[in-house]
């Protein structure tokens, strides 16, 4: 049967795939007509399979959704008592930290040479790309810090809880950091590094008031990948799945392997949060050296994580559940029970949304309608082209893409700023703006449906990619 053509549009930005066959819950797609038209049968078939997961009680597709494995990217699966490992995938707790630079404005970063100096200063302090190298000014970390990080995340670094989505997720006394030795071997050498793929450090300027921010986007590095890979195989063996289908495995939270995975998943989340905040230290130093201003953490949040949360049901009652955000961002609005006692209780917490390296990023705040989307929003603008395809199909346009990055002019806070300075000789084709949806079109859906509002729209002026 066709799933896409059984989807019903119920409002301007809301589509529903009715429950059918083995599906345990219907699928809600938060999409404009144009974004719905970009989806295909493979995406909706994958969503239907995810909705059939044991314990599933809800499934949502964010407006940046596209085909993934197990669960669509931009997919939010809610379960009662099970954990589906694909809900965090291989980069457990990939996410973003935003820094604001008080007193630094668009006019201060308009000069290309100063931005180039900032890129060089960051590279001297923060490792980018694959592997375990450390630049000359990066801190040399000691083994005792790692054990504290795996258990206590950002708290191990003295980071304040109010600037974190979660300072750390508890692990039990049974947690053994050496159990997955391949993961543990990667952990210390890569702590405080960006990694490859779509991860980056970016100097950005607010479109309207010209304030300067820095966005850091990275995850749990080799520790998270090896942890996920280990438990995909273990889960497949337990469920009787062939190794080639290991990414379909799932675990009950009350069974031994489920408890073991939950501990290690949470330790990888703690690692990712601490990793971002260690990178912050190098970024702050570089910003002080080049611009003479210190940066301060605005907020930090994950967008690739399973979390146990309080679910607010349509009748106003609550229950606990596991929310799998596979390329989606948590969005607790004002009054959410899990925000009680935090500085964000009256406003909701910020949602930090990266976009492409040309088209910029956004800060959103959840609206009351966020409860309709399992308190979730998009995690970016969403890919429309895979990495291999981008490298093949865009090769002939590489000169034009480079020229666009160097020549783009924008008025930011009333100041003309030209070009995006990078740390790569050429624009990575698999990360250029052609491979992503339009961020503004994605955000508009959330505003239309009362899920979130735009607070800041920011554009890049310098970018460091974690090259492969």
Active site residues: 379
Angle (CA) 126 286 134, round 5°: 20
Angle (CA) 115 284 344, round 5°: 115
Pairwise CA distance, residues 436 & 400, whole Å: 17
Angle (CA) 220 264 151, round 5°: 80
Which structure tokens are listed for 352? Answer: 């930090």
Local structure of 38: helix, strand or coil: helix
Nearest to 79 by CA among 59, 56, 96: 56
Which structure tokens are listed for 1? Answer: 């049967």
Which structure tokens are listed for 371? Answer: 């409860």
Pairwise CA distance, residues 233 & 252, whole Å: 16
Pairwise CA distance, residues 96 & 272, whole Å: 10
Terminal Cα distance for the chain, rounded: 40
CB 424 within 8 A of CB 467: yes
Pairwise CA distance, residues 138 & 158, whole Å: 19
Half-sphere exposure of 151 (CA within 13 A, CB side): 12
CA distances to 275, 315, 379, 436 from 439, in Å:
26, 33, 10, 8
Nearest to 47 by CA among 11, 9, 80, 18: 18
Residue recorded with tokens 């994958």: 46
The full length of the chain comes to: 468
Pairwise CA distance, residues 325 & 253, whole Å: 17
Which contiguous run of DSSP H or E holds residue 143?
Answer: helix 143-152
Distance of CA 397 to the CA centre of its chain: 28
């Amino acid at each position: 049967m066709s799933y896409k053509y059984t989807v019903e549009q119920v409002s301007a930005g809301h589509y529903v795939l009715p429950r059918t066959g083995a599906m345990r819950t219907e699928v809600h797609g938060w999409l404009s007509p144009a974004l719905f038209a970009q989806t295909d049968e493979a995406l909706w078939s994958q969503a239907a399979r995810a909705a059939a997961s044991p314990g599933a009680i809800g499934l949502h597709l964010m407006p940046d959704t596209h085909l993934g494995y197990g669960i669509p990217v931009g997919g939010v699966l809610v379960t009662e008592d099970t954990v589906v490992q694909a809900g965090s995938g291989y980069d457990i707790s990939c996410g973003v930290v935003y820094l604001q630079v008080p007193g630094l404005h668009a006019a201060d970063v308009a000069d290309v040479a100063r931005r180039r100096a900032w890129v060089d200063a960051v590279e001297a302090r923060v490792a980018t790309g694959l592997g375990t190298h450390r630049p000359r000014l990066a801190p040399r970390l000691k083994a005792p810090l790692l054990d504290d990080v795996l258990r206590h995340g950002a708290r191990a670094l003295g980071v304040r809880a109010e600037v974190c989505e979660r300072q750390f997720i508890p692990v039990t006394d049974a947690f053994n950091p050496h159990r997955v030795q391949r993961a543990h071997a990667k952990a210390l050498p890569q702590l405080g590094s960006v990694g490859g793929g779509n991860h980056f450090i970016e100097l950005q300027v607010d479109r309207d008031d010209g304030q300067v921010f820095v966005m850091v986007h990275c995850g749990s590095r080799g520790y998270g990948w090896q942890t996920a890979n280990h438990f995909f195989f273990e889960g497949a063996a337990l469920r009787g799945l062939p190794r080639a289908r290991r990414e379909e495995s799932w675990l009950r939270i009350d069974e031994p392997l489920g408890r073991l995975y939950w501990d290690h998943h949470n330790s990888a989340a703690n690692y990712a949060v601490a990793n971002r905040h260690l990178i912050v230290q190098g970024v702050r130093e570089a910003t002080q050296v080049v611009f003479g201003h210190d940066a301060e953490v605005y907020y930090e949040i994950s967008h690739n994580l399973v979390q146990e949360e309080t679910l607010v049901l349509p009748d106003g009652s609550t229950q606990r559940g596991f929310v799998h955000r596979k390329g989606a961002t948590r969005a607790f609005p004002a009054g959410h029970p899990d925000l009680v006692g935090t500085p964000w209780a009256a406003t909701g917490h910020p949602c930090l949304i990266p976009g492409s390296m040309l088209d910029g990023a956004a800060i959103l705040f959840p609206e009351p309608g966020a409860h309709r989307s399992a308190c979730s929003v998009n995690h970016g603008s969403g890919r429309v082209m895979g990495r291999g395809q981008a490298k093949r199909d865009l090769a002939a346009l590489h000169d034009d893409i480079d020229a666009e990055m160097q020549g783009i002019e924008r008025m930011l806070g009333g100041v003309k700023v030209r070009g995006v300075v990078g740390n790569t000789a050429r624009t990575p084709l698999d990360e250029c703006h052609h491979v992503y949806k339009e961020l503004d079109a994605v955000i508009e859906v959330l505003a239309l449906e009362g899920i979130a509002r735009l607070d800041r729209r920011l554009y890049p002026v310098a970018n460091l990619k974690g090259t492969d």
